[in-house]
Amino acid sequence: MATELKVQSRSVFGKKTAALRHAGFVPGEIYGHGRNNLHVAVPLKEFVALYRAAGSHTVISVATEEGAIPAVIAEVAYHPLSDEILAIDFHAVKKGERVRAKAPVAFVGVAPATKAGFVVVEVVHEIEIEALPEHLLHKIEVSLEKLEKPGDSVGIKDLSLPSTVKLHVPTDTTLATVREHAREATISPPVAETATPAEEAATSENAPAQPEKK
């Protein structure tokens, strides 16, 4: 699997990035380690292929004009209607330095409760974790097979994760629960302790951005 992504430097921002998109590129940012943001143009086709193979938490080599930068894909912003990729954030990493990231939750197995006509509500779809880059999880599997009746639930306390991974979510967080009817209110996901740099970045075009201008 190729884990190198070649990008170009970028000098256009905001609405001017439309021409960039027409040319097959997406605006991106590389940040981390106290360095100034590096504005880049990311080739969309190559990025999509790598993202599908590597996911968000594989360390990749971002080849820039300044040299290769090891990084993880920190945030991908999508258009709310078309699902078009609007912008990409890369978090530069360093060997031996722990990274905070969000790992997607993958619900697996069939809950006996669904066979009995009840509804399983999936409450949380990603969990913030912290680990060395090489120990970041691509996903966290959560089994639904023990959910049998209304009131049954599976939560953070039921997870069995490697000791190399630290969770940044309350231990009493519910991940999935059983309800009698589909129209019952869904439990709101817990509020993260702190926002990641990528989450704090947002522009009027719904694209992530750091304090510097896009």
Contacts of 27 (CB under 8 A, 6+ apart): 10, 12, 13, 17, 20, 39, 40, 41, 42, 86, 87, 88, 207, 214
Q: Is 178 exposed, middle or buried (CB count within 10 Å of its CB: 0-12, 13-18, 19+)? A: buried
Task: Delimit the domains of the chain by residue range.
Answer: 4-94+195-200, 100-179
pLDDT reported for residue 55: 75
pLDDT along the chain (214 residues), means of 10: 84 88 94 85 95 80 91 89 92 86 92 94 94 87 96 96 94 95 54 50 44 47
Superfamily holding 100-179: Ribosomal protein L25, C-terminal domain (2.170.120.20)
pLDDT reported for residue 188: 56
Q: Distances in Å between the alpha carbon of 202 and those of 16, 134, 183, 209?
A: 17, 28, 33, 5
pLDDT reported for residue 100: 85
pLDDT reported for residue 95: 79
pLDDT reported for residue 15: 84
DSSP string, 70-103: EEEEEEEEE-TTT--EEEEEEEE--TT--EEEEE
Q: Which CATH architecture has domain 4-94+195-200?
A: Beta Barrel (2.40)
Q: Is 136 left (phi over 0), alpha (psi -120 to 50) or beta?
A: beta
Tokens of 212: 């510097």
pLDDT reported for residue 194: 52
pLDDT reported for residue 147: 97
